[in-house]
Amino acid sequence: DSGVTQTPKHLITATGQRVTLRCSPRSGDLSVYWYQQSLDQGLQFLIQYYNGEERAKGNILERFSAQQFPDLHSELNLSSLELGDSALYFCASSPQGANTEAFFGQGTRLTVV
């Protein structure tokens, strides 16, 4: 168990809908990262927050947004969903920045039908 909790584990929704994925980082970790992993694909970096502030952005679509709350949990919002958004979404946390070990959650498997 990495200590990072992601909910829900599975999500099935229709095209055009909006969903929210939730991540609780390890106790004390200030950085939260979101990644997208499509079938047989690598890990695509979406966005990173550090202590409530956005620190880095990857290839995150405009339909996607995220935030980190004062208690350090984070949410990834995906709207106007398309079939191609079906993927595993991982959250990871680390004590500080990118040059330290990241601890990954179990992921949320999103299926858009």
User: What amino acid occupies position 83?
Assistant: L
Beta-carbon count within 10 A of 42 CB: 9
C-alpha span between 58 and 49 (Å, rounded)? 12
Smallest distance from other proteins to CB 12, Å: 17
| Per-residue interface string for the shown chain with other proteins, residues 22-61, x marking contact by CB under 8 A | ---------x-x-x-----xxxxx--x-x----xx-x---
Decide if residue 2 touches other proteins (CB under 8 A): yes
Task: Restricting to residues 69-108, name those near other proteins by CB under 8 A.
Answer: 90, 92, 97-107
Comparison of 17 and 111: residue with beta carbon closer to other proteins: 111
The beta-strand segments (E) located in 1-43 are: 5-7, 10-13, 19-24, 31-37
57 burial type by CB count under 10 A (0-12 exposed, 13-18 middle, 19+ buried): exposed
Interacting residues with other proteins (CB under 8 A): 2, 4, 31, 33, 35, 41-45, 48, 50, 55-56, 58, 90, 92, 97-107
